Amino acid sequence: MARITMREAISQALWEEMEVDQNVFILGEEVGVWGGTYAVTKGFYDHFGPERVRDTPIAEAVIVGAAIGAALTGLRPVAELMTINFAYSAMEHIVNEAAKLHYMFGGQMVLPLVIRAVGGGGRQLGATHSQTPDAIFAHFPGLKVVAPGTPEDAKGLLKESIRSNDPVLFIEHATLYQLRGDVPDSDYTVPIGKSKIQRPGRDATIVTYSKMLEISLKAADQLVQEGIEVEVVDLRSLRPLDMEPVIESFKKTNRAVIVEEGWRSYGVGSEVAVRIYEEAFDYVDAPIQRVAQKEVPLPYNRTLEQLALPQVEDVIKAVKEIL
Amino acid sequence: MPKLGFDMAEGTLVRWVAQEGEQIAKGAVLAEIETDKATVEVESAYEGVIARHLVHEGDIVPVNTPIAVVGAPGEEIDFQALLGGNGEKREPSEEEGAAVAAETVVPSKKEQAAVQTEMDTQLPGGLIASPLARRIAQEEGVDLKQVPGSGPAGRITKKDVQSYLESPPAAIGVPVGVVEAPEKAVAPPVAYAPEALPPADQVVQLNRLRAAIGRRMTEVKQQVPHFYVTYEYDMAALMALRSQVNALLPEEEKTSVNDYIVKATALTLREFPNLNASFKGSEIVQHGQVNIGVAVAVEGGLLTVVCHDTDRKPLRLISREVRTMAARAREGKVRSDDIEGSTFSVSNLGMFNVEHFIAIINPPEAAILAVGAVQEVPVVKGDQIVPGMRMKGTISVDHRVSDGAEAARFMRALQRYLEEPLRLLV
């Protein structure tokens, strides 16, 4: 076990997969000579060379379009989008081509494509650079959407994503790169579409993922001092969505709070809540709560930005609401 | 005929407020209808002219049946086509009712909302319980109505059902087969348990009666300038007379103190026509009849039952009428005649041992008498303090109609009847 940052974990996953498979290559804005906007690919250009570490124009449609083409020819591209907010410029390629080609051509080709995209708010980047549109992408069948909340999961899930023959949107949270955690030394992967209980408890179930896992675990730490033990389930991937641990936990606690960073309406919370009602109605003992971002374009002002984003106190309040 | 309660199947059209040929504004009162709980005003959903009443006063009409046709001024209405048949007053069939419903009177939004609320509170099962609590209750055979809810708005949760299962209230300390009559009322166990949460706030939707009382009393208290006069009566003679009278009567016909007060009030009012009156803008209507209303507590509110021509009826008949109507009111089967036409009301809280209280005038009456309990009190007679039977009465009067001196004279005149009660019988 090594205690490393999320940045190192993602970097290691890329490095290791590039080492073992010549078909894996990366492309994106500033990923090469500069080493990545978030320094994930530092040193890659020198080690793997310009053929496999490609700087691209500032044109997301080109990055994703080229990656799709490469994947169709049998390569395993890992495209980096500097922020997920720029994915809108490549929407056609992501949701109409990557998500559908395998299906529309009767399975004649596979798309072993990974799009790494940096999402989330909290760094004062303004309304257009701070979004959490995870649910939008999770809406499309044909696309896998992965969003890890720990270094261990980030490394294992990224390796699994690169090895997967399906197009994967791999969402990294901008404020999690410094998060440290234990990571196995072995060559391991984490299966996509498996939720995980990150903290056991009996009084209520918090369902969350990505950055909000960190927030939820902090809330759990505070709640336990008041004798309230919450179970925290980490979805880890939004599509496929693994509800089994959620339902199992809910049948035990009979209460749930869903914590997501994106806006509340039409969000992950809505989906998870309805699935609970569908699959465990007779175990519902209190209305399911949602904690999510205030429904405004995220403010630039630091105080307002923090007010709009879900905080530890919001989670605690929501839990207490239903106990 | 609007549906004013989830279980209302029919209503009686008590009175047409707007007559045929009259202009009516949207929201204006069209008619009064009586359900088995109360008399309610129906508002017109349309503006126009009342072309025709489709039902007679006093008719019992199924809900959703058209009761009137409202047309544009001067509009030629083909009743034949609209209603079928000869267009006479009658009860149309359901299909026809539906066909003309859009043209006729429907309940106002307010009434519909009231109906909706009433229905909502009935679903599901009339209590709030989480799905999990419901399931456990079903599995364990627990009647959820017996389980106190601790959640928001009194929601019954798993915890509540479980703690009920652990200690159902009825099972505490009652050994099977051993029933002992307690020597005296045992104080209930102290419910205070510091570790338990206090019960949550309960939200109770207003029923129609409650809402109507609230609306009318607010109006009266805001619009009618009340003043109050309190008087104390020596009730010893009346109590003695009542004992003698009741000794002659079968159990179910025994007279109440209130019967004497009602009769005494009616006779006194005969001498004070100005207090047996209604204020009507620029004039005061002094009623020819003396019809005493008697306030009756019913579930969720109160009604005033009316004894017509009280001053001319013998005490025993007054007693029987009030008793019968009060029983009907408590059973929710009050008839429109029972609650219509009072000219003065009496409200009595003596049975609760209330010493004295003041009442709000029951519109359109000009005054109301509030009476307390007959109490044994020390009274000064000459140089002696002796036991006496005293009762306090307070009259509330509309100051637009009368003044303090008249009210005081009324209270003093009432004294003659109450303190020389043979006057009530001759």
Report chain B residues whose CB lies below 8 A from the CB of A256.
none
B132/A284 Cβ within 8 A? yes
Report yes or no: A284 at the B interface, CB cutoff 8 Å.
Answer: yes
Is domain B225-424 given the CATH code 1.10.10.10 in the classification?
Answer: no
Report chain A residues whose CB lies below 8 A from the CB of B133.
285
Where along chain B do its domains lie? 10-120, 225-424
Q: Compute the nearest-CA separation of A254 from chain B (Å).
A: 8
In A, minimum Cα distance to B129 occurs at A285
Q: If interface means Cβ-Cβ distance under 8 Å, which residues of chain B face chain A?
A: 130-135, 151, 155, 157-159
For the record, the structure tokens of B322 come out as: 């009030």
Alpha-carbon separation of residue B400 from A157, B225, B277, B366, B406 (angstroms): 85, 7, 11, 9, 13
Which residue of B138, B158, B160 is the best one to mutate when testing the A interface, meaning the one whose CB has the most A CBs within 10 A? B158
Is domain B10-120 given the CATH code 2.40.50.100 in the classification?
Answer: yes
Q: What is the pLDDT of residue A137?
A: 98
Q: What is the pLDDT of residue B99?
A: 40
More reliable by pLDDT, B92 or B382: B382
Q: Compute the nearest-CA separation of A279 from chain B (Å).
A: 13
Q: How many CB atoms lie within 10 A of CB A78?
A: 26
Q: Compute the nearest-CA separation of A312 from chain B (Å).
A: 23
Question: Which stretches of B54-134 are assigned E, i.e. beta strand?
Answer: 60-62, 68-71
A75: pLDDT confidence band, cut at 50, 70 and 90?
very high
A284/B157 Cβ within 8 A? no
Active site residues of B: 399
Distance between CA atoms of B106 and B111, rounded to whole angstroms? 10
Q: What is the pLDDT of residue B42?
A: 83
Q: What are phi and psi of B388, to 5 degrees?
A: -135, 165
A282/B130 Cβ within 8 A? no
B135/A254 Cβ within 8 A? no
Contact between B424 and B265 (Cβ < 8 Å) = no
Q: Compute the nearest-CA separation of B213 from chain A (Å).
A: 36
Alpha-carbon separation of residue A248 from A202, A237, B19, B252 (angstroms): 12, 18, 68, 65
Distance between CA atoms of B206 and B212, rounded to whole angstroms? 9
Report chain A residues whose CB lies below 8 A from the CB of B155.
286
Three-class DSSP category at A250: helix
B13: pLDDT confidence band, cut at 50, 70 and 90?
confident
Distance between CA atoms of A189 and A159, rounded to whole angstroms? 6
Report yes or no: A281 at the B interface, CB cutoff 8 Å.
Answer: yes
Three-class DSSP category at A110: coil
In sign, the C-alpha dihedral spanning A262, A266, A268, A273 is positive
For tokens 């207490």, the residue is A320
Q: What is the mean pLDDT of residues B89-112?
A: 44
Nearest to A113 by CA among A131, A93, A127: A93
Find the distance separating the first CA and the last CA of chain B, reported in whole Å. Answer: 48
Report chain B residues whose CB lies below 8 A from the CB of A284.
130-132
In A, minimum Cα distance to B139 occurs at A282
More reliable by pLDDT, A254 or B103: A254
Q: What is the pLDDT of residue A114?
A: 98
More reliable by pLDDT, B153 or B384: B384
Nearest to A253 by CA among A293, A210, A211, A220: A220
Q: What is the pLDDT of residue B104?
A: 43
Of the listed ranges B36-40, B141-145, B318-322, the least confidently predicted one is B36-40
Of the listed ranges A83-97, B17-31, B156-170, B389-403, the least confidently predicted one is B156-170
Give me the half-sphere count of Cα atoms (radius 13 Å) on the Cβ side of residue B77: 22
Q: What is the pLDDT of residue B171?
A: 41
Distance between CA atoms of B201 and B155, rounded to whole angstroms? 10
Q: Compute the nearest-CA separation of B157 from chain A (Å).
A: 6
A285/B158 Cβ within 8 A? yes
Q: Is A210 left (phi over 0), alpha (psi -120 to 50) or beta?
A: left
Report chain B residues whose CB lies below 8 A from the CB of A286.
130, 151, 155, 157
Contact between B365 and B265 (Cβ < 8 Å) = no
B71: pLDDT confidence band, cut at 50, 70 and 90?
confident
Contact between B18 and B29 (Cβ < 8 Å) = yes
In sign, the C-alpha dihedral spanning A176, A181, A183, A188 is negative
Which residue of A285, A289, A320, A322 is the best one to mutate when testing the B interface, meaning the one whose CB has the most B CBs within 10 A? A285
Report yes or no: A140 at the B interface, CB cutoff 8 Å.
Answer: no
Q: What is the pLDDT of residue B151?
A: 81
For the record, the structure tokens of B356 come out as: 């004295």
Q: What is the ipTM of this complex?
A: 0.71
Q: What is the pLDDT of residue B276?
A: 97
Give me the half-sphere count of Cα atoms (radius 13 Å) on the Cβ side of residue B425: 11
Q: What is the mean pLDDT of residues B183-190?
A: 61
Q: What is the pLDDT of residue B185?
A: 59
Nearest to A213 by CA among A238, A234, A230, A227: A234
Distance between CA atoms of A294 and A302, rounded to whole angstroms? 15
B135/A285 Cβ within 8 A? no
Active site residues of A: 60, 129
Q: What are phi and psi of B111, to 5 degrees?
A: -70, -40
Whether residue B173 is predicted with pLDDT greater than 60 in this model: the reply is no
Report yes or no: A227 at the B interface, CB cutoff 8 Å.
Answer: no
Q: What is the pLDDT of residue B120?
A: 38
More reliable by pLDDT, B276 or B57: B276
Q: DSSP character for B388?
A: E
A286/B131 Cβ within 8 A? no
For the record, the structure tokens of B98 come out as: 């539906």
For tokens 């590039």, the residue is A18
Q: What is the mean pLDDT of residues A284-290?
A: 95
B133/A286 Cβ within 8 A? no
Q: Compute the nearest-CA separation of B188 from chain A (Å).
A: 30
Q: What is the pLDDT of residue A44?
A: 97
B87: pLDDT confidence band, cut at 50, 70 and 90?
very low
Cis-peptide into B152, omega within 30 deg: no
- pLDDT tens per residue across span B392-422: 999 999 999 999 999 999 999 999 999 999 9
For the record, the structure tokens of B413 come out as: 């005149």
- pLDDT tens per residue across span A110-148: 999 999 999 999 999 999 999 999 999 999 999 999 999
Nearest to B169 by CA among B137, B199, B136, B147: B147
For tokens 């008839």, the residue is B335
Domains and CATH numbers, chain A: 2-183 (3.40.50.970), 196-321 (3.40.50.920)
Q: Are strands A196-199 and B39-43 parallel, antiparallel or unpaired?
A: unpaired
Q: Compute the nearest-CA separation of B6 from chain A (Å).
A: 28
Whether residue B111 is predicted with pLDDT greater than 50 in this model: the reply is no
Distance between CA atoms of A62 and B392, rounded to whole angstroms? 95
DSSP B41-54: EEEPSS-EEEEEE-
- pLDDT tens per residue across span A11-25: 999 999 999 999 999
Whether residue B127 is predicted with pLDDT greater than 90 in this model: the reply is no
- pLDDT tens per residue across span B314-368: 999 999 999 999 998 888 777 778 888 999 999 999 999 999 999 999 989 999 9
Report chain B residues whose CB lies below 8 A from the CB of A203.
none
B239: pLDDT confidence band, cut at 50, 70 and 90?
very high
Report yes or no: A285 at the B interface, CB cutoff 8 Å.
Answer: yes
Q: What is the pLDDT of residue B403?
A: 96
Report chain A residues whose CB lies below 8 A from the CB of B130.
254, 284-286
Q: Are strands A230-234 and A196-199 parallel, antiparallel or unpaired?
A: antiparallel
Contact between B363 and B314 (Cβ < 8 Å) = no
Q: What is the pLDDT of residue B172?
A: 41
B131/A281 Cβ within 8 A? yes
The single-letter code of the amino acid at B80 is Q
In A, minimum Cα distance to B156 occurs at A285
What is the biggest distance separating any 2 CA atoms in chain A, rounded to whole angstroms? Answer: 59
B158/A254 Cβ within 8 A? yes
Distance between CA atoms of B35 and B51, rounded to whole angstroms? 25
In sign, the C-alpha dihedral spanning B409, B412, B418, B421 is negative
Distance between CA atoms of B5 and B212, rounded to whole angstroms? 14
Report chain B residues whose CB lies below 8 A from the CB of A282.
131-132, 134-135
For the record, the structure tokens of B396 come out as: 């509330």
